[in-house]
Amino acid sequence: MRSVRYNEIAPYLHPGMIPLEPTRGEEQVRTKFTFNLINKLKPQAREYEVRDTEIKGLALRVYPTGKMMYTLVYSRGRRVNLGPAHAIDHDQARVLARQELAKHYSGKDPIKERQQVKAKADNYLQFLEDIYKPWLLLNIVNGLATYESLKTSFPEFHKLNLNGITPGLIEKWRLRRLKEGIKPSSINRQMNDLRACLNRAINIWELIKENPFQKVKPCKTDTSPKVRYLTKTEEGRLSKALDDREQTMKDARNRHNEWLAKRGYQPGSAIAPSSFADHLKPAVLLSLHTGLRRGELFQLKWENVDLERKNLTVAGETSRKSGKTRHIPLNDSALGVLKRWKKQRSAVSPYVFHDAEGRPFEGVETSFRGVLREAGITNFRWHDLRHTFASKLVMAGVNLNTVRELLGHSDYKMTLRYAHLSPEHKAAAVKKLVGIQLRG
C-alpha cells in the first residue's frame, strides 16, 4: 500500500491541505476530510491513502476496486479499521478514532481488544451483552432502550452464532410477529435496530462478512401515514395549560415560604415572575420552535447554543438517527426562551436541561401527560411537537428541502409525509376552483 502522490490528488484538495515529508520517495498528503473531497477521490491502479488533519493517524484508504476504508494508525506498525466510507462518514470516523486512541493512551491495545471481542462473539446474546451494549451506551442517545429492544424482540436468536442469523430466520421471525398482531411499522423499527447492530458487527468489529438484511425487505406500510400535529386551537390550549402549571407551581412555592416564615424557619428563594417554574415549559417551547428530537433536546449543551448569532447546533454524536451535525437558526421565540432559561440556570452542568446532579434528563413523560390532560389534548406524544414544527413550516410555504435540512432527515422519504398535511391548506387550494366554468 502506498501513500497518494500530491500531484495525483491536488485537483480535489482545498487550499488548506498540508503535504507531509516524502516517504520512500513518495509524498503523503494530509488534508481535512470533507464530503466534497471524499466524493471526488478516484480509485487508481494501486491503493493509496489520505490522512486527516483533525485526528492524528486517521486515514482514508482508497482501493483499486473503488472501496474506501477509514483506518487509524495509533502506533508504529499498529493500525485498526474503523469502517468503510459507504457505512460511516468522516465525522463518525473521527468519533471512532478518538475512542480507539483513548484506549491506546490508557494502556490498552485496540488490536488485542478486537481479538478479545471476536473471542466473545460466540452467539448473538453474548455479542449483544458484552460488546454492542457498551458501544450503544457510549455512542447512541437512548442506547439502553435500543439494547432492551434487541434483547427482548429476538429471543429465538439468543443461542445463535451471528453468522447463523439468516434471511430465512428473519423472515420466519417477521411472520410470527405479524400473526401476533404487531404493527408492521413496529416490526420495521425492530428490524432496523437489528440491521444496524449487524452492520456494526461487520464494519467495526469485522465479525461477519455479510448482513442478512441485504436479502430481506421491510414490511409494507402506509407511505403517507397520518401525522399528528397541534391545531391552532390545541396550541392555544397547550399554551394556557403550561401557563397555568407555571402559576400553580409559583403559588405553591410562595405558600410554602410563608409557612416556613411563620414558624421561624428560613424561607427558600421565590420564583421570579420572569423565570420559568421548572424545565417543562422551556423544553416544550424549544421543541415547537426548533423541531429537535427529544434525545437531541436533552443532550443539547450550552456550548452548542450561540445566542449572539441566533444559532443552535445539533452535534452528530447526539443525533441518533443520522449521526450528522446540523445547524438550526433560532427564531425570536426560541431565542427568548433560551435567554430566559440560561439566566436562571446554575453552572453545575454543561447541559441545557439537566437534573439536580447535572445529568441530562431522560424523559418528562409524567409532567407532559399532565399538561396534555389539562389542555384536553389526546393521542399526542412528545415527538408530535416535532411534527407540529415541520407541519407549520410546510403550511407556511417553506420548501421541502429546507424542512428536510432543519429536521436532519438524510433523504426525502421522511420529509414527504408533510407535503399533504393540513386539510385547511388543501381546502384553500380547492376553493380556487369556485367560479370556474367547464366548457364542453
Q: What is the pLDDT of residue 141?
A: 65
Question: Residue 315, CB half-sphere, CA atoms under 13 Å: how many?
Answer: 16
Question: Can you list the alpha helix ranges (DSSP code H) found in 83-132?
Answer: 90-105, 110-120, 124-127
Q: What is the pLDDT of residue 18?
A: 39
* Residue intervals in the chain for CATH 1.10.150.130: 121-215
Neighbours of 134 (CB within 10 A): 12
Query: Regarding beta strands 26-31 and 18-23, do their DSSP bridges make them parallel or antiparallel, or are they unpaired?
Result: antiparallel
Active-site residue numbers? 293, 321, 383, 386, 409, 418
In the three-class reduction of DSSP (H, G, I as helix; E, B as strand; rest coil), residue 31 is classed as strand
- Rounded Cα distance between 150 and 130, Å, is 13
121-215 maps to CATH 1.25.40.20:
no
- Rounded Cα distance between 406 and 287, Å, is 12
Question: Which residue is listed with cell 448482513?
Answer: 211
Query: Domain 6-116: which CATH class?
Result: alpha beta
Share of the chain above pLDDT 70, in %: 84
Question: Which residue is listed with cell 435500543?
Answer: 146
Mean pLDDT score across all residues of the chain: 83
Q: What is the pLDDT of residue 84?
A: 83
In the three-class reduction of DSSP (H, G, I as helix; E, B as strand; rest coil), residue 403 is classed as helix
Q: What is the pLDDT of residue 423?
A: 56
- Tens digit of pLDDT for each residue in 419-430? 776 556 566 667
Q: For residue 1, is pLDDT > 50?
A: no
**Band of residue 172 on the pLDDT scale cut at 50, 70, 90:** very high
Share of the chain above pLDDT 90, in %: 34
Q: What average pLDDT does this structure show over 321-333?
A: 83
Q: What average pLDDT does this structure show over 276-289?
A: 94
Alpha-carbon Rg for the chain, nearest whole angstrom, is 26
- Rounded Cα distance between 177 and 187, Å, is 7
- Rounded Cα distance between 280 and 291, Å, is 16
Q: What is the pLDDT of residue 359?
A: 80
Q: For residue 136, is pLDDT > 80?
A: yes
**Band of residue 15 on the pLDDT scale cut at 50, 70, 90:** very low
Q: What is the pLDDT of residue 254?
A: 87
Question: Can you list the alpha helix ranges (DSSP code H) found in 356-435?
Answer: 365-375, 383-395, 400-407, 412-415, 423-431
Q: What is the pLDDT of residue 323?
A: 62
Distances (CA, A) of 332 to 178, 242, 243, 289, 342: 47, 19, 19, 9, 15
Question: Can you list the alpha helix ranges (DSSP code H) found in 10-89?
Answer: 35-40
Q: For residue 13, is pLDDT > 60?
A: no
* Residue intervals in the chain for CATH 1.10.443.10: 232-427
60-69, 227-236, 276-285: least confidently modelled range: 60-69
* Residue intervals in the chain for CATH 3.30.160.390: 6-116
Instruction: Mark 235-246 as b/e (b = at least 16 C-beta within 10 Å).
Output: bebbbebbeebb
> Is 154 within 8 Å of 200 (Cβ atoms)?
no
Q: What average pLDDT does this structure show over 135-145?
A: 78
Phi-psi label, residue 181: left if phi above 0, alpha if psi -120 to 50, beta otherwise: left
Range from 2-16, 49-63, 273-287 that averages highest in pLDDT: 273-287
- Tens digit of pLDDT for each residue in 380-400? 999 999 999 999 998 888 888
Question: Can you list the alpha helix ranges (DSSP code H) found in 319-364?
Answer: 332-344
Q: What is the pLDDT of residue 384?
A: 94
Q: Domain 232-427 sits in which CATH superfamily?
A: Intergrase catalytic core (1.10.443.10)
Range from 65-74, 79-88, 93-102, 325-334 that averages highest in pLDDT: 325-334
> Is 264 within 8 Å of 279 (Cβ atoms)?
no
228-242, 288-302, 312-326: least confidently modelled range: 312-326
Cell readout for 94 is: 473521527
Distances (CA, A) of 127 to 92, 106, 149, 159, 196: 22, 24, 15, 11, 14
Q: For residue 169, is pLDDT > 80?
A: yes
Task: Find the largest Cα–Cα distance for the chain.
Answer: 91
Q: For residue 209, is pLDDT > 90?
A: no
Q: For residue 21, is pLDDT > 50?
A: no
Q: What is the pLDDT of residue 122?
A: 66
Q: What is the DSSP string of 409-423?
A: -SSHHHHGGGTT--H
Q: What is the pLDDT of residue 432?
A: 72
Q: Which residues contact 45 (CB under 8 A, 6 or more apart)?
A: 64
- Evaluate the CA torsion angle 7, 9, 11, 14 in order and state its sign: negative
Cell readout for 49 is: 491513502
**Band of residue 357 on the pLDDT scale cut at 50, 70, 90:** confident
Q: Which residues contact 124 (CB under 8 A, 6 or more apart)?
A: 154, 157, 158, 159, 160, 161, 162, 165
> In terms of Cα–Cα distance, which of 244, 268, 273 is closest to 258?
268
